[in-house]
Amino acid sequence: MGKIKTSYICSLGLTIDLIGGKWKLVILWYLIDNTKRFTELRRLIPTITQKILTEQLRELEVSHIISRKVYPTVPPKVEYSLTSYGESLIPIINSLCDWTESYAEENNITL
């Protein structure tokens, strides 16, 4: 994603910059229920690389969609959770999942 621009020709452009891509919605989906540690997210999303997960989490954090809490322990404990902006995405993510399930059923796609 890089930096968020200060001007967009369409609100969907900003939406795509904030939550678009292959992994961000998946990460947000797993954070809906509760806070997760980095290793938990890696286990839940086995096909994502550590590097990409780190990048996606950073971008979501910079956008204030998730928060990152570091505990001063050895080894360091880091937890990720949704912010109020992230929580406001929950009904949207749920609607996308409902739409996807309907689409998949009508088009004989196994999820």
Residues 20-31, buried b or exposed e (16+ Cβ, 10 A)?
A: ebebbbbbbbbb
Architecture of 24-106 per CATH?
Answer: Orthogonal Bundle (1.10)
* pLDDT in the model for residue 2: 60
Predicted model pTM: 0.90
- In whole angstroms, give the CA distance from residue 44 to residue 90: 18
Sheet holding 77-82, edge to edge: 36-37, 77-82, 66-71
Mean pLDDT of the chain: 95
41-84 confidence digits (pLDDT tens):
999 999 999 999 999 999 999 999 999 999 999 988 999 999 99
Residues 6 or more apart whose CB falls under 8 angstroms from that of 8 comprise 14
Q: Token pair of 91, please?
A: 């009904």
Residues 6 or more apart whose CB falls under 8 angstroms from that of 30 comprise 36, 41, 44, 45
At residue 102, does pLDDT exceed 80? yes
* pLDDT in the model for residue 4: 79
